[in-house]
Chains A and B, each alone.
Chain A
Amino acid sequence: MSDMAATRDGYGQALLEIADNPKVVVLEADLGKSTKSLHFKNKYPARTVSCGIGEQNMLLTAAGLASSGYIPFASTFAIFTERAFEQMRNGVARPDLAVHLCGSHGGTHTGTDGSSAQSIEDLAIYRTLPNVVVMHPSDYVSTLELTKQLPELNKPSYMRTARNKTPVMYSGRESEIVIGKGITLRQGTDVAIIACGVLVSESMKAAEMLAEKGINATVVDMHTLKPLDGALIDSLVSQCGALVTAEDHNVIGGLGGAVAEHLVTNKYAPLEMVGVADRFGESGQSDEMLEVMGLNSKYIEQAAQRAIARKS
Chain B
Amino acid sequence: MTLSISELEEFARKCRVEIVKMVYRAQAGHPGGSLSEIDLISALYATRMRVRPDEPKWEDRDRFILSKGHASPGMYAVLAEMGFIDHEDLHSYRVLGGKCQGHVDMKWCPGVDFSAGSLGMGLSFGLGCAVAARLDNSERRTFVMIGDGEIQEGSVWEAAMAAAHHEVGNLKVILDRNRIQNDDFCEAQMRMFDIPAKWRAFGWEVKEIDGHNMEEVMSGLDFLEATNDKPAILIAHTIKGAGVSFMENNPSFHGAAPNDDQFAQAMAELGEVIV
Contacts and interface: CB of A to CB of B under 8 A. Distances in A.
Interface string B94-132: 000000000001110000011101101100111111111
Contacts of A52: 158, 161-162, 165
B125 A67 contact: yes
B133 interface: yes
B166 interface: yes
B135 A63 contact: no
A293 interface: no
B129 A57 contact: no
Contacts, number: 101
A113 interface: no
Nearest to A96: B107
A61 B129 CA distance: 7
B250 interface: no
Contacts of B127: 57, 60-61, 64
Q: Is the interface of B mostly helix, strand, loop or mixed?
A: helix
A65 interface: yes
Given A54-B162, A56-B124, A86 B118 contact: yes
A73 to B, nearest CB: 13
Given A52-B165, A86-B118, A90-B118, A67 B113 contact: yes
A47 interface: yes
B92 interface: no
A47 B161 CA distance: 19
B166 A95 contact: no
Given A61-B127, A95-B107, A69 B132 contact: yes
Interface of A: 25, 46-47, 49-52, 54, 56-57, 59-70, 72, 86-87, 90-91, 94-96
27 contacts: A47-B135, A50-B165, A51-B162, A52-B162, A52-B165, A56-B158, A57-B155, A57-B159, A57-B162, A61-B124, A63-B125, A64-B125, A64-B130, A64-B132, A67-B106, A67-B125, A68-B132, A69-B132, A70-B132, A90-B121, A91-B118, A91-B121, A91-B125, A94-B107, A95-B105, A95-B114, A95-B115
